[in-house]
Amino acid sequence: MDLLLVLTYAAICVGIFKLFRIPLNKWTVPTAVLGGVVIVGALIFTMNYNHPYSEVARSYFISTPVIPVVTGRVVEVPVRSNTPLKQGDVLFRIDPAPFEYKLRSLKAQHVAAQGDLYRINELIKRNFGTRREQEAALARVDDLQAQIDNAQFELDNTVIRAPSNGFVTHVSLRPGMMASRLPLRPSMVFVPNEGQYFAAWMRQNSLLRLVPGDEAEVAFDGIPGRVFKGRVKDVIAVIGEGQVQPSGTLISYTGSPPPGRVPVIIEITDPDFAQYKLQMPGGAYGQAAVYSQHFHHIATMRKILLRMAAWMNYIFPFH
Q: Is the pLDDT of residue 4 over 70?
A: no
**CA within 13 Å, CB half, 134:** 12
User: How many angstroms separate the CA atoms of 218 and 228, rounded?
Assistant: 5
**CA within 13 Å, CB half, 135:** 3
Q: What is the 3-state secondary structure (H, E, C) of 233-250?
A: EEECCCCHHHCCCCCCCC
What is the model's pLDDT at position 260? 87
Tell me if 146 sits within 8 A of 170, measured CB to CB: no
Sequence spans of domains, the chain: 51-61+195-241+258-312, 64-192
Quickly name the fold that domain 51-61+195-241+258-312 has. Elongation Factor Tu (Ef-tu); domain 3 (2.40.30)
For 211-254, write each residue's pLDDT tens digit: 899 999 999 998 999 999 999 999 998 888 888 888 888 888 77
Q: Which residues contact 41 (CB under 8 A, 6 or more apart)?
A: none
Residues 144, 147, 152, 153, Cα dihedral to 10°: 150
User: At 256, is the secondary structure helix, strand, or coil?
Assistant: coil
Tell me if 292 sits within 8 A of 217, measured CB to CB: no
**Confidence at 5, pLDDT banded by 50, 70, 90:** low
User: How many angstroms separate the CA atoms of 210 and 49, rounded?
Assistant: 10
**Confidence at 89, pLDDT banded by 50, 70, 90:** very high
* Bridge partners, 200 (sequence order): 57, 264
Q: What is the CATH number of domain 64-192?
A: 2.40.50.100
Q: Is the pLDDT of residue 310 over 70?
A: yes
For 179-221, write each residue's pLDDT tens digit: 999 888 899 999 999 888 899 999 888 888 888 999 999 999 9
Q: Is the pLDDT of residue 66 over 60?
A: yes
For 7-26, write each residue's pLDDT tens digit: 777 888 878 878 877 787 77
